[in-house]
Amino acid sequence: LNIWKEVLKSSSISIDDNFFDSGGHSLLMVQVHERLQCVLQRTFPLITLLQYTTIRSLSSFLERSDHLRAAPDSEKVSQERNALLSQRNRAMALRVQ
């Protein structure tokens, strides 16, 4: 619940509110997906958030899913993310010049 509240910048989200009806969009969905995988230490397809658009339905799905894989080492993921961000920033800087 807190992840959705933070990403949607709203304190009035309930577990039955639809993510997209509450102001969510695809870019915010990616943020929620990444944060959930980190917190849960599990990976699951991004499309899952399109299929289960309320916290209640998503939670129910995740609880009964036995095919979720353990998330990769968070430090390794963080290093890879930082490397990609660094590459993107360099590419953007080159475009500006």
- CA of 57: how far to CAs of 35, 40, 48, 72, 96, in Å? 18, 16, 10, 25, 44
* pLDDT over threshold 70, residue 87: yes
User: What mean pLDDT do residues 69-87 have?
Assistant: 66
Q: Which band of pLDDT confidence, cut at 50, 70 and 90, is reported for residue 68?
A: low
Task: Give alpha helix (H) positions in the chain.
Answer: 2-8, 26-40, 48-51, 55-64, 74-96
**Could you give the percent of the chain with pLDDT greater than 90?**
57
Half-sphere exposure of 75 (CA within 13 A, CB side): 0
User: What mean pLDDT do residues 36-57 have?
Assistant: 93
Q: Residue 32: what pLDDT?
A: 96
Most confident by average pLDDT, 16-20, 80-84, 86-90: 16-20
What distance lies between CA 11 and its chain's CA centroid?
18
* Residue 70 main-chain phi, psi, to 5 deg: -65, 140
Q: Is the pTM higher than 0.85? A: no
